[in-house]
Amino acid sequence: MINVLFVCLGNICRSPMAEAIFKEKVKGASLENTIAVDSAGTGDWHIGNSPHEGTLAILKKHRIDHEGITARQVQKQDMEEYHYIIGMDAENIGNLSRMKGLRPSGEIARLLDFIEDGKEDDVPDPYFTGNFDYVYELVNEGCEHLLMHIREKEGL
C-alpha cells in the first residue's frame, strides 16, 4: 500500500480538503486498494474536530465525500509510515523538515510543487482568507498532478 499524508496547520481546512479530493481521484482511477490517504496538522488546536464549515461546504458543492475525516496532529511515526507527505505551504514544509530527521521513509513536498508553472507556490489558508473556492481550485489541480506523479513514479 502506498500511503499519502496531506498536512496543513490545523487540519481543518486545506489538508482535509486535499484528503477528500485525492481519495476521490484515487477511487476514480480504481487505485483505492493501492493508495491510502490521510491528513494531519502540524498544530494541535483542532484535534478530533470535523473539517471547517467552509471546507465541508465546498466538498458538498462538488459532491466529494468527506465521511470520517477528523483533525489530528502529525506524529513521529507518520514520518516512517507515509511514502508521500504533502504540505500545503512553506511553513508546513518547514515544520515537517524539522521532524524529518526522525528517519523519513518517503518524499516530503508542497502540493503545488507538482504543478509546472503554477500560479501559486503555497495553498493559501482559507481559515484566514475565507476563499474556499480558490483553495479548492488549487488543491484539485495539485491533487491531479500529484496522482500523475505517484502513478509514474510507482508504475501504476
Q: Which residue has the cell 477528500?
A: 20
Our answer to whether residue 133 is catalytic in this structure is: no
Of 38, 78, 122, 125, catalytic: 125
H or E segment and range at residue 79: helix 78-81
Residue 98 is a catalytic residue: no
Q: Which of 8, 13, 72, 143 is flagged as catalytic?
A: 8
Torsion of CA 80, 141, 25, 30, to 10 degrees: -90
Q: Choose, from 14, 72, 89, 110, the residue flagged as catalytic.
A: 14
Nine-digit cell string for 115 = 504543478
What Rg, from alpha-carbon coordinates, does the chain have?
14
Confirm whether 65 is a catalytic residue: no
Residues recognised as catalytic = 8, 14, 125
